[in-house]
Amino acid sequence: MPAYARALLPALAGIRRHRVFTIVLTAAAALRVVTMLGYPPARMYWYDSFAYLHNAVHLRPEQGFHPIGYPLLLRALLHFHSVEVVVALQHTMGLATGVVVYAALRGRGLPGWAAVTASAPVLFDASFLRLEHAVVSDTLFILLVVAATALLVRRPVPSARAAVTAGLLLAGAALTRTIALPLILLVLLGLAVRRVPWRRLAALALSGVLPVAAYAAWYGGVHGRFGVSGTDGVVLWARTMTFADCTVIQPPPDLAPLCPNGTVLDAAGEYV
């Protein structure tokens, strides 16, 4: 038997073992090809997409809503000068997320049909396809969080390597979307409840916190304030506008202009 044929045998055996998922994954890939052909070159959102692209070209901490994680990915693809390359990679990331979900659940002993069912939303839901086909950070963020979670649930007690890798993935997620910052603490608490040895917890904490701290220091050197975003107060205020009642709060006159103005459709976004 030729050497290349012998090298293919493990892959063919894996396909036979996971035949149903292979069929599902192929269908999901075909759906993404149709999406790219039907909606070229990519969806662009104001102002997020253009802010990400600008930050990728002029690489520095942005004072707005977007930390550096996703612009770093765009920077790596800058040589191609093509948003189609960006969304092609993101569609591949979407497929990879489905693979990670399936592999993690199979590794924990779930039957094939259950693991395929759990991976189906990320592979076929139109919302995921839309995000993958846009120049926005969501697909990268989802893959990072799912991959970190999969590493930590592979075994009852994650190895030191898995803990460090998961910490780096969570740090990447936090530097992609700041909403992931609390996840590092939540993961540490969850592992502590599972009585994971403190050395593993320390390894995850250091690998998760140090990259974020380094970026926060860079941000502070540029903007004079240690942090990863300059819009925390704006976002918090905008969210409260969806339920704040100034007839009860009775703010002083200088704060009264910050009261809700009656916007109800996509209220938080409109207030931002």
Q: At 134, give phi and psi (nearest 5°).
A: -120, 155
CB 133 within 8 A of CB 90: yes
Report the amino acid identity of residue 251: P
- The answer to whether the pTM exceeds 0.85 is yes
Partners of 134 in the β-ladder? 43
10 Å CB burial of residue 40 (0-12, 13-18, 19+) is: exposed
The one-digit pLDDT tens for each residue of the chain (272 residues) are 555 445 554 655 566 788 999 999 999 999 999 999 999 999 998 888 999 999 999 999 887 788 999 999 999 999 999 999 999 999 999 999 999 999 999 999 999 999 999 999 999 999 999 999 999 999 999 999 999 999 999 888 999 999 999 999 999 999 999 989 999 999 999 999 989 999 999 999 999 999 999 999 999 998 888 888 877 678 788 888 888 889 899 999 999 988 988 766 667 777 87
d(CA 89, CA 86): 5
Chain-centroid distance, C-alpha 229: 17
